[in-house]
Structure 1
């Protein structure tokens, strides 16, 4: 029997990268997974991969920056699978720039997707979690703990997620809800590829300047980027019964970059 046998999980931003790895891992451990993304095609592809491996999944296209869409995501999940046990708030974006060059649009996009999206999903799931308890895992970053040059927006959003995590843990413990966060360093996804050859998202290339990327790896004691599959494992731990007495915690998963 898998660690999540019989559980129902919503994973936001799970059409690619870390979210995709979490969705596939959760399904392999017995969970019914709602794959959420703002883009339909990658979400459907993840569902196909899960089903091909014998798992159970469905896709829901929703923009988590809008509360009504976050609510639809939760409601559709419960209608389809009969409940909601686990929420992983993974949807995120970067828009790097030095403070004096950062535009209002860059600030707003990063805050809205990372922080507001996390709040919206928690708020939308509240009526279900308050009835039957469950697990919430919010994806943060070590820059939310340490700050980072060129990432005022991302650092503020991820730091806000940590504060939100602790508040939810305190407010909802009485309902049987455990709420924790995972703070990653660089994970090998499209958001951490060299920006010079990076993918365009919302009209702007994502990624990290190649020299900065190399410097980050050099400052990581384990000497490499984390894979999405490695990033998914700590989330499984926090979603499972192994973490039954852990709440309000920020799990640092950074290869030693942050200590």
Structure 2
């Protein structure tokens, strides 16, 4: 008996890297998997590997950035397997550019795949999950949503996916549909590209995509029936949750705040709790330099 026996699962961007690892691991646990990738040859290769290991899978080469393509993807799962139980929104693109080198074209391209490519298949899947009153959606975010140099557009797209996760979990709870996200750290083409361009330490520990796959299997399983609205990060041997955005260090001033009040009290109240900027950066590391120059 597998943990995902007979569950019908769509994995997007599953021709390589993390998506391939998710699809392979889920099929190994008994799931029937639709392996989606715009590179049809890679999708078919993964399907062949799954079949060689005794699993069941079919390929799909539609683009999830396209509304109709995403619809065909979900329809294929329903037609082939009789329904859909889980959707893994893994498909994504990535580049390293500082904001002054970004363009509206590069922004639109990133949002089309990473944001619309998460929304489109989810919206189509819900046409089936909501009437059956059960389902599971697993999104894929990134630590870059917390701030990484030269990843502002990529990070913004993944921040949108995180917000999707929180909101959809609330909206879909009444339909018994769980929504969570994975924030993975693994050796992929994206990570290699960042390392080659100097945006990641060459000595930073690298774990294969297969190392992250177990959390996807768990979140898709009935063992996670009470888990929703969470972002789970798996980095090396550390499993953690990412905190939700929330208010901190509230300061109350009777009658409301004037500019003079804020000038007088900001540094002694909120100024004592300034948040670190970036995933691993020191608190306001550049601001400290500016204050030294000013003095």
- Answer whether TM exceeds 0.5 for this pair: yes
Identify unmatched segments of 5+ residues in structure 1. Answer: 196-206, 218-223
Equivalent residue number for residue 42 of structure 2: 42
Larger Rg: 2
CA distance in 2, matches of 1:106, 1:233: 33
1:27-176 matched pairs, under 5 angstroms: 27-132=27-132, 133-144=134-145, 146-176=146-176
| CA displacement 1:7-42 (0-9 Å, x = unmatched) | 100000000000001101100100000000011000
Equivalent residue number for residue 198 of structure 1: none
CA contact (8 A) 2:14 2:35 kept: yes
Equivalent residue number for residue 192 of structure 1: 191
Q: Does 1:234 align with 2:233?
A: no
CA contact (8 A) 1:44 1:59 kept: yes
CA distance in 2, matches of 1:225, 1:129: 36
2:196 to 196, 202, 209: 209
Equivalent residue number for residue 206 of structure 2: 225
Q: Secondary structure at 1:214's aligned position in 2? A: coil
Q: Secondary structure at 2:212's aligned position in 1? A: helix
Equivalent residue number for residue 12 of structure 1: 12
| CA displacement 1:116-151 (0-9 Å, x = unmatched) | 10011111111111022111100111112x111101
Q: Which has the higher contact order (CA 8 A, sep 6+)?
A: 1
CA distance in 1, matches of 2:207, 2:144: 16
Between the two proteins, the alignment pairs up a number of residues equal to 239
Q: Secondary structure at 2:198's aligned position in 1? A: helix
CA contact (8 A) 1:95 1:107 kept: no
CA distance in 2, matches of 1:14, 1:115: 17
CA distance in 1, matches of 2:206, 2:84: 32
| CA displacement 1:202-226 (0-9 Å, x = unmatched) | xxxxx44353322671xxxxxx122
CA contact (8 A) 1:142 1:254 kept: no
Equivalent residue number for residue 204 of structure 1: none
CA contact (8 A) 1:71 1:121 kept: yes
